[in-house]
A and B are shown apart, each in its own frame.
Chain A
Amino acid sequence: MNIKHHLDEATLMSYTAGSMSQAMALVVACHLSMCTACRERAHESEAIGGMLLDSLKPAPVGDDALAQVLACIDGLPEAEAEALDASYKDTQSCSENKSHLNIGSSVPSPLSIYIGSSLDHIEWTRIVPGVHYHDLPFKTERGGVSRLLRIAPGKAMLPHSHDGNELTLILCGSFTDEVGRFTVGDIADLDNEIQHQPLVDSNEDCICLIATDAPLKFSTLLGKIVQPMTGF
């Protein structure tokens, strides 16, 4: 996979700190599962978390905490523990394989939890001709929206800016905006200082996973998706 557009450092830090909304974190996790370079950077950020943990003043734990945990460990049947770990490993290696597929229909493992392993069976809702969306079933959470968008060739969104951050990960196809050309695996990591107008620039539908941390603005954005690009 030839990924050219990566995560912003601040975005990565927010993700590794665990301080990012569920919706945004999903997009970040998907890019990380596709992008070795950003995974390396994520490890660096996590090292900051480790160092902060090192530096914390210890809090007193329950007198019997160690005894309780040891009892749990002893109560854990060896076979069960290994089975758990084995199944865990299976999912992991499976997802690793998936993330290495570079065909357009691959679904990164963090997303496959929600939609399965194929982009072919998604229930799309039409907004306007050529533009469809599918919402991901997140529990209500302040400031978190993420959804899949499927945009037909030649369609575009109106220029827009954001109140907050917006992440767009390309799963299939490509688009071009003021920042550059985005293909599978690329992430557009934008904040409110950037104005852009993505245009689907090939003869294939573009499917992307989008999240914002400002949901109202996001609806506005969707409302502004326009008809075929005649005037541009």
Chain B
Amino acid sequence: MESKPPGEDVNNVVAMRQAEAPKVWSDRLSDLAKTKEKALYIQLFQHFAPKVKAYIIRLGLVETTAEELMQETMLAVWRKAHLYNPSKAAASTWIFTLARNQSIDWMRKQKYPEYGLESWHEEPDEENDVCEQVITSDRMAKVISQLPEDQAQVIYMSFYEGRSHSDISDRLGVPLGSVKSRIRLAAGKIKMMWSDEV
């Protein structure tokens, strides 16, 4: 790895390890939707709650707020479990969107414009799509950890710090166009690995 730009911590991206067996969690979440079994929910809670809280803290919110929003998010996991569609997303992806929306709604005191969750509960696609989604999420962990540092950094600043393109551009002192092309390059690489896999 080359030198890091000062002030921007990208260690978490560089050191990112492959996510452990995400399929297990996606299975548990879709089972929860069917059974509403508390034992499953508790497992999901214990796995995801600390990650959700870590995500919210990274967005810059204080501990007590992060705790509260984490609880709201995990409550939404229970209440909306029946909307989860394993053919569309890994459990972590779905929970990420819930945590993201809870946090943004709180920070902005207004709802983040959503394109609707209709796509989450469309008719499930064929069975092999489930595998594809899981492989994809798995592969992506590896891909991101292999991105050049300047690309990993803009992904990191977008997802973990919630920074807009202009904000990233200001902070890194690079033109807006470069920020966007780094993000495009990163996305391109991720999707190339995706299509290689399928």
Residue positions of A touching B, CB distance < 8 A: 8-10, 12-14, 17-22, 25-26, 28-30, 32-33, 39, 42-62, 65-66, 68-70, 72-73, 76, 81, 84-85, 89, 92-93, 95-96, 99, 109-110, 113, 138-139, 141, 143, 164-165, 191-193, 213-214
Contacts and interface: CB of A to CB of B under 8 A. Distances in A.
A95 B70 CA distance: 28
Given A22-B112, A61-B67, 6 more contacts: A47-B93, A50-B22, A52-B155, A56-B55, A70-B38, A95-B118
B90 A47 contact: yes
B57 to A, nearest CB: 6
A25 B22 CA distance: 29
B19 A55 contact: yes
A50 B89 contact: yes
Nearest to A55: B16
Contacts of B41: 73
B65 interface: no
B171 to A, nearest CB: 12
Nearest to A50: B93
Nearest to B56: A59
Given A53-B99, A55-B19, A61-B49, A10 B184 contact: yes
Nearest to B91: A50
B92 A54 contact: yes
Contact of B166 (A9, A54, A143): A143
Given A59-B57, A65-B70, A49 B96 contact: yes
Given A10-B184, A50-B93, A139 B108 contact: yes
Category for how many chain B residues contact A: 35 or more
B141 interface: yes
A81 B81 CA distance: 12
Given A18-B162, A48-B140, A65 B67 contact: yes
Given A66-B49, A96-B118, A22 B108 contact: yes
B5 interface: no
A50 B116 contact: no
Nearest to B53: A59
Nearest to A35: B115
B177 to A, nearest CB: 5
Contact of A95 (B94, B99, B116): B116
B115 A61 contact: no
Given A33-B115, A65-B71, A110-B115, A213 B96 contact: no
